[in-house]
Every structure is written in structure tokens, then in C-alpha cells.
A and B are shown apart, each in its own frame.
Chain A
């Protein structure tokens, strides 16, 4: 089975631009998570979904961040407008249920100039 697939792997853009990160979870997994990794703050959970419904978005830093899951096989994390401090590696993960481990994608390395 394919793992969690994220795109793009790398994104470099200028501040003020809209950025969209994409994720395809493992087929059959009911939970999807978005994390951000920075040197200063480590790995932080931004938002997670259960059966396509957002459950907890308390980790989303600002209104500039939004996430959607229109169907079971696709999710997006959008930043608009982007700022240099948004530069980080963004990971998507999925799990079968609350007891199963989360499996991570390879991440998107985002650089905002």
C-alpha cells in the first residue's frame, strides 16, 4: 500500500502569496493530521480530521491558515497571505483509528522569502 503522499516536496515563494499544501492519506484511514516542524517549536499539531470532519483546530496559528478535507482521500492546508515566519516543514499524517499509530508523509519544506 502507498503511504501518505504529500505535495509539493518543496515550495519557495514570496511573502504575501497564497500557498497550498496537499495530502493524500493512506486508504481506509479515518484520521488525518497536519503538523508543522520548526527548530524553535519542534513538532506541533495544527489540525486534525476524523472522517473528513475537522475535530480540533486549536493548533492553527492564525486565521491566515485554513485546512479542508473535501473527501476521504484528499486534504489541503492553505496559508493566505504567507509570511516568512511560516517557513517550516509541514507534515501530514493519517491513522486507522484512535489507537493506531500515525503514519507520516515525507513532508513539504516551505520557504517564504
Chain B
């Protein structure tokens, strides 16, 4: 079984503050992928990042950074100097059972999401 937990259901910050969204996952697989998606008020789901289980190197993309720690089964997302446009629901997701040799895998299990509100 796989499970993704986003314990923070809602976070409110003031613009320019840094904010970290937590994600904890459970899996028995050694090969898996972790994802973050953003769902702005308009409703679409926007892919942000993918990380495979063998790559624990942290990643930075502009104001966004991700910290992957297998030891704690966490894949946290930090927004630096938040902006009002960052207001959205953010989802962490897990995909396991991956293999190109069969048709299985690639099924995403999503966490419950964290609603981020950035106030001016």
C-alpha cells in the first residue's frame, strides 16, 4: 500500500515570507517517483517537479526548492519570498511499481493537498 500525507491542510502567510509545505510518504518499493502539483483557484493541475527515489539531491527552481530525504520519507517544498500568485492548493503525489516491462505502475496517489494563502 502507498500513502501520501500532507499534514498542513491550510497555511496563511504574508507576501515575501518563506513557507515550507510538508509531504511524508509511505512505500515498500525501492523504485518510486515523487511529484508536486499546483492547483490555482482557476482549477487546473500544474506539474511542478518530479523526483526519483535514487536521486536525493535537492532542487532549486527560482523561488521554489525541494528537499527530498529518504531517511524520513519526506519530500518538502519551500517557496522563498512568497507572492500572492503563489496562492493555490499544492499536492504531493507518489508513483510506485514502475516498470517499462509491463503495463503496471505510473498510478499516482495524491496527498490531501495544502491550501496556501499568500496575503499582500
Contact = CB atoms under 8 A, between A and B. Distances in A.
* A and B are partners in one complex rather than unrelated chains: yes
Interface of A: 31, 33, 42-43, 45, 48, 50, 53, 55-56, 89, 91, 93, 95, 97-107, 109
A6 B87 CA distance: 24
Contacts, number: 58
B43 interface: yes
A107 B91 contact: no
Interface residues of B, number: 26
A49 B31 CA distance: 22
B58 to A, nearest CB: 19
A80 B103 CA distance: 28
A42 B113 contact: yes
18 contacts: A31-B106, A43-B91, A43-B113, A45-B108, A48-B106, A48-B107, A95-B106, A98-B98, A98-B99, A99-B33, A99-B52, A99-B98, A99-B106, A100-B50, A101-B35, A102-B47, A104-B45, A107-B45
B55 interface: no
Interface in B93-120: 95, 98-100, 103-113
